[in-house]
Amino acid sequence: GSELKPSASGICTALLVLLHRNAAAASGDGGGGLRLNFYSESCPRAEQIVKEQVRRLYEEHGNTAVSWLRALFHDCTVKSCDASLLLETDAATGLVSEQASPRSFGMRNFKYVGAIKSALERECPGTVSCADLLALAARDGAAMLGGPSPIPMRTGRRDATASQYGEVERYVPNHNDTVSAVLSRFAAMGLGAEAVVALLGAHSVGRVHCSNLVARLYPAVDGGFEPAYGAYLRGRCPTADAREDTRDVAYARNDRATPMVLDNMYHKNLLKGRGLLLVDQRLASDPRTAPFVKKMAADNGYFGETFAAALVRMSENGPLTGGQGEVRKDCRFVNAK
């Protein structure tokens, strides 16, 4: 319902302050070369096309909207928001895709990136980067899920010509990391504890595979779980000695109340001992993050504004701009020389 959407004016104000702050860094390499409406002359309908495609895909396969948020997180966390995540393994060149990393387990819907890119290529061949496509799709996906909107997102990113497969495990947090580990990884992107608690609120949508949960359920249920919730999860997830493939297919929804709404239900659940992943539940008790969990649980508008600002900040992590990288014609492959 409408109460889930924080006021648009509040979000815009918070973001304009953030963009203003970032503008100072824009002359260096902070958000260098990125600007609002980057394609206003080269491809005026670029952002509209992405939005139309994200909406169409959402209407056909609702979970795509969640996938765009996760894809942007995985792409940006590993060194740069440069669409290196989208490159597919290529035996001929020896390139190994970041999607092959264990940290990318459960990511899906990459095939639909091609549908968005094809629509952009039809309108403006070789103009809109895959890195900008990911950033815009995540923004529009958040809006489709009832999250903050509109989010002013700067564009002008260029695409990587290499995979960072070897770096993924070092950069992408694990589901059972300590709060300190997670905070230090986000700090490298200029994101503090408040932003981390907001961004992990994306776990308000989507699901978690049982392979990431069984250690908290067997042989005994983790004492951090609300007992009834632990019993429910044991019903969802087969035992730890079940065949690996069953655990990889079985899953539990992150949030049973509003499973497809990007809202503060995640933070409310943490306060009740219903954080699915260990790292989620730890946010509620760590003194550096707990105050933000409580504040977001109490105020969905505040969560929305903080999430929007953090999403923009994350999307501007070390972008390739100007003459760096390239604009890939097909997001899966480096352009032929």
Q: For 2-42, what is each residue's pLDDT tens digit?
A: 344 444 555 555 565 555 555 444 333 344 689 999 999 99
Query: Among 234, 47, 32, which residue's Cα sits nearest to residue 139?
Result: 47
Task: Give percent above pLDDT 70 in the chain.
Answer: 84
* Angle in degrees, 0-180, between the axes of helices 300-315 and 290-298, rounded to the nearest 10: 120
Question: Residues comprising the binding site for heme b?
Answer: 203
Q: What mean pLDDT is predicted for residues 330-337?
A: 92
The pLDDT score that the predictor gives to residue 225 is 86
pLDDT digits (tens, 9 = 90+) for 81-115: 999 999 999 888 888 888 877 776 667 789 999 99
Nearest CA-CA partner of 62 in 207, 218, 257: 207
What is the pLDDT at residue 17? 55
Residue 241 pLDDT > 80, yes or no? Answer: no
CA distance 283 to 6: 23
Q: Is 80 exceeded by the pLDDT of residue 175?
A: no
Flag the least confident range among 126-130, 171-175, 178-182, 215-219. 171-175
Looking at residue 244, its pLDDT comes to: 52
Residues placed in the known binding site? 75, 78, 82, 84, 173, 203, 255, 258, 263
Output the CA–CA distances (angstroms, integers) from residue 263 to 67, 207, 251, in the order listed.
16, 15, 21
Binding site residue list for substrate: 173
Binding-site residue numbers for Ca(2+) are: 75, 78, 82, 84, 255, 258, 263
| Domains located in the chain, CATH noted | 2-172 (1.10.520.10), 197-301 (1.10.420.10)
CA 283/CA 275 separation, integer angstroms: 9
- CA 204 to CA 263: how far, in whole Å? 6
pLDDT, mean over the chain: 85
Q: Which two tokens stand for residue 204?
A: 């308000």
Choose among 190, 195, 204, 203: nearest CA to 306. 195
Give catalytic status of residue 74 as yes or no.
yes
In angstroms, rounded to a whole number, what is the distance separating the alpha carbons of residues 316 and 254? 27
308 contacts 148 by C-beta, under 8 angstroms: yes
The residue with greater pLDDT, 67 or 278, is 67
3-state secondary structure of 230: helix
Least confident of 92-96, 157-161, 280-284: 92-96
- Alpha carbon distance 131, 79 (integer Å): 13
Band of residue 176 on the pLDDT scale cut at 50, 70, 90: confident
Residue 290 has pLDDT above 70, yes or no: yes
In this structure, of 11-20, 150-159, 310-319, the range with the lowest mean pLDDT score is 11-20
Task: Tell me which residue of 286, 6, 316, 14 sits closest to 138, measured CA to CA.
Answer: 316
Report the SS3 class of residue 164: coil
Asked if residue 3 lies in contact with residue 300, where contact means CB atoms within 8 angstroms, the answer is yes
Annotated catalytic residue, options 61, 74, 209, 267: 74
**Mean pLDDT throughout 105-132?**
92
